[in-house]
Structure 1
Amino acid sequence: MTDHLSDLRNRLVIGWKSPRTWRLNGPTAAAYPVMEIADAQPVPFPGFDRLILDYPQLQAVMREHRYASWRTALSSVVGIYLITDTRDGRHYVGKADGAENINQRWGVYASNGHGGNVELRGLDPSTFRYSLLRVFDPSTPTREIDESESHFKRALDTRNHGLNRN
C-alpha cells in the first residue's frame, strides 16, 4: 500500500448504475463514470498550544485542502518553534520573524526536511517532530522575538546538547 494519493482517499464519487449492487470487479468498475472528487473533510485546528506534528503530518498540513484552516492560523503568527529528533531526543529551536510567518517557515521544512539549517541537513526528517513554543503577533519587534529564541535555546540547552550551532 502507498500513501501516494492518500489525500484523495474516500473522496471518489462515481455514477453508480445499480442500487442493488454493492461491489464491483475492476473491469466493470472501470466503465462507471467519475462524477467528482469530493471535498476533503476539514480537520479542525487544535490551537497553537496543542500543535505537535511529525514530518508526514507537516507535509500534509502544507499541501492538503483539509488543512486550509491550519495554514491560515499558522500564517497569522510569527514565533519560536521546536524540532525534536525523536531518534535521540535532541532539539532544535528556531524562529519565524519579520516577513516570514510560521506557515512560510514550516513550508520550507516540509519541502526539504532541513529548512537550510546546517545541523539538520544530514538527518532524516522522517523522525522529526514539530511544535510551537511561543507565538507572537507579526507586529512584534524582531528584538523581542530574538530574545525569546535565545531564552529557549538556553532553557533547553540546545547549543551544547542539541542541534543549534548559534
Structure 2
Amino acid sequence: MPLTLGPLLIDAGIDPVQALVIRHAFVTEPEESGLTGLHADSTHAEIFSYTGTQSADTRRFPALPPRYWVVFIKEGGDQARLWSVVENHGEVSRDDIRRTFDIAETEHMEDLRGRLVIGWKSPRTWRMNATTAASYPVVGIADAEPIPFPGFDRLILSHVQLQAVMREHRYASWRTALSSVFGIYLITDTRDGRHYVGKADGEESIRQRWHAYATNGHGGNVELKTLDPSSFRFSLLRVFDPSTPRADINAAESHFKVALDSVQRGLNRN
C-alpha cells in the first residue's frame, strides 16, 4: 500500500480534523484583491506573511479556519512540496478585501520541510480540509542536505534548534564536533536576560551535556527546572581539548560566572 499524507500528519501529532492543507502557487494577485503574490525568489518571511493574509470572501477561505495549516508550495502541475506547518491563533484584522491571521510556525513535520513531496489530485484547488488531503500520495521524501558546522565561536542555538541538532541527520557534523570537546557553555533566558554558566568535563563532552538539555530542557539543573526552555539560547564561551586538566576547566567556569554575574543576578546557585 503506498504511503499517503494522512499517516505523516498523525505521526506528527496533527489531527486531520483540526487541520487545513494549503498549496501556494507562484502567482501575481490582482491589484484589487489587496493581496501580494508569490514568486520563485520569495523569502521565507514573505511566504509566511502571504500565508497569514487571506481573502475576506469566505467562499475562498473558511470563515472559521482550523488550528493547524499544513502549507505546501506548488511543484509542477500535480505535486506540492512541504513548506511548513503553522498554528492559527485567530483573526486579528479584517476589511472588505482581506483578513489577517495571527499565525506562528510550529515544530510539526519540521524534519520534512522542503523534503516531503505529495501528489496533488486537484490542480485547480489550492486549499482543502486535511481529512481530504490525507489520501494524497507521498511522491518522495528527499534526503536532508547536510548543514556545515559554523564553528564553536559562532554557535548560537534556540532550544528548538538544539533539539534538531541532536536528532537530525543533516546536523551529523555538528554532533561530531561537539563530541570532540569539553568546555564552558552559556544558557541565556531571553525573557529576562539572566545567564546560566555550565561546564562539560570529565566523562561528558559538550554534545553529551547538551543532549540532556535537548531531552528535558533543564539538564538536571535545579534552577532551570522551573523555567520554560523555549526561551533558552545556548552558546559556547570556551572549548577545551579532552586532555585539559579538570582544574583548568573549573577555573574558566568560575571566571565566567563572575564575569557574567550569573550567581548574584543569574541562574547559577553557586
TM-score normalized by structure 2? Answer: 0.55
Structure 2 residue runs of 5 or longer lacking an equivalent are: 1-85, 87-105
SS of 1:140 mapped into structure 2: coil
SS of 1:162 mapped into structure 2: coil
Q: For the structure 1 residues 29 and 107, does the alpha-carbon distance in structure 2 shift closer, same or farther, using more than 3 Å as the test?
A: closer
Aligned to 2:101: none
Are 1:93 and 2:158 an aligned pair? no
TM-score normalized by structure 1? Answer: 0.87
Shift of 1:28: 8.9
Aligned to 1:69: 173
CA distance in 2, matches of 1:29, 1:86: 38
Q: For the structure 1 residues 100 and 24, does the alpha-carbon distance in structure 2 shift closer, same or farther, using more than 3 Å as the test?
A: farther
Count of matched residue pairs: 161
Identity %: 71
CA distance in 2, matches of 1:122, 1:28: 40
SS of 2:236 mapped into structure 1: strand
Are 1:79 and 2:180 an aligned pair? no
CA distance in 2, matches of 1:122, 1:29: 39
Q: Which has the larger radius of gyration?
A: 2
Q: Which amino acid counterpart does residue 166 of structure 2 have in structure 1?
A: M
Aligned to 2:229: 125
After TM superposition, list the pairs within 5 Å mapping 1:1-166 onto structure 2: 1=86, 2-12=106-116, 23=123, 30=135, 32=137, 34=138, 36-166=140-270
Q: Which amino acid counterpart does residue 7 of structure 1 have in structure 2?
A: D
SS of 1:81 mapped into structure 2: strand
CA distance in 1, matches of 2:195, 2:181: 22
Q: Which amino acid counterpart does residue 95 of structure 1 have in structure 2?
A: K
Q: Tell me which protein shows more strand as a share of its residues.
A: 2
The structure whose RCO (Cα within 8 Å, separation 6+) is larger is 1
Q: Tell me which protein shows more helix as a share of its residues.
A: 1
The C-alpha deviation readout for 1:37-65, integer Å capped at 9, x for no partner, is 32101111110000001111111111111
Structure 1 residue runs of 5 or longer lacking an equivalent are: none
Please provide the CA RMSD for this pair: 2.3
